[in-house]
């Protein structure tokens, strides 16, 4: 028997290995559902998709009431700095997911961006806080 610790993932409905990144993901699920009122059934963990022939997985995806992706969340271990590379990873994922909001967190720091368009070009603007589910729905593009 190994000493691997696990934690219950309410979205995948199973125990998963308790890695530092998983601890941040589970914390984020709690914040999204409890504080930002995202319904559990409107979130998914480890959402797989292809980009340029490669397989990727988004840590968390929040869906709107029509089951369209609304926000993507990229979770990193607490010691990982949230730098340009992490933001670019979320932007790459958004090339496929086409969400209105991108959130990056390491459990210590959290940043949110809102997708916009200007002169036919997509841009991302940092916003002061992660909006509630209802705010995201109301401000959806």
The model's pLDDT over 14-24, given as tens digits with 9 standing for 90+, comes to 999 999 999 99
Pick the closest to residue 40 from 14, 60, 57, 16 (CA basis): 60
pLDDT (tens digit per residue) in 78-106: 999 999 999 988 888 888 888 999 999 99
Domain boundaries, the chain: 6-139
Q: What's the Cα-to-Cα distance from 137 to each of 71, 114, 116, rounded to whole Å?
A: 10, 12, 15
Which of 7, 27, 33 is CA-nearest to residue 19?
7
Residue range 1-8: mean pLDDT, rounded: 78
Assign domain 6-139 one CATH number from 3.30.420.40, 1.10.540.10, 3.40.50.1370, 3.90.1570.30: 3.90.1570.30
d(CA 4, CA 17): 7
Residue 103 and residue 111 in contact, taking contact as beta carbons nearer than 8 Å: yes
Lookup: tokens for 83: 């730098």
pLDDT in tens, 111-133: 999 998 888 888 889 998 999 99
Backbone dihedral angles phi then psi of residue 107, each to the nearest 5 degrees: 85, -20
């Amino acid at each position: 028997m190994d000493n691997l610790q696990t934690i219950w993932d309410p979205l995948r409905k199973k125990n998963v290995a308790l890695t530092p990144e998983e601890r941040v993901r589970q914390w984020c699920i709690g914040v999204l559902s409890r504080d930002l009122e995202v319904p559990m059934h409107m979130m998914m963990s480890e959402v797989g998709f292809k980009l340029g022939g490669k397989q990727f997985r988004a840590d968390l995806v929040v869906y709107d009431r029509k089951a369209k992706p609304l926000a993507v969340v990229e979770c990193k271990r607490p010691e990982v700095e949230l730098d340009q590379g992490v933001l670019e990873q979320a932007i790459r994922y958004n090339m496929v997911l086409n969400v209105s909001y991108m959130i990056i967190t390491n459990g210590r720091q959290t940043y949110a961006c809102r997708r916009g368009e200007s002169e036919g070009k997509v841009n991302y603007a940092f916003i002061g806080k992660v909006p509630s589910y209802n705010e995201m729905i109301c401000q959806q593009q």
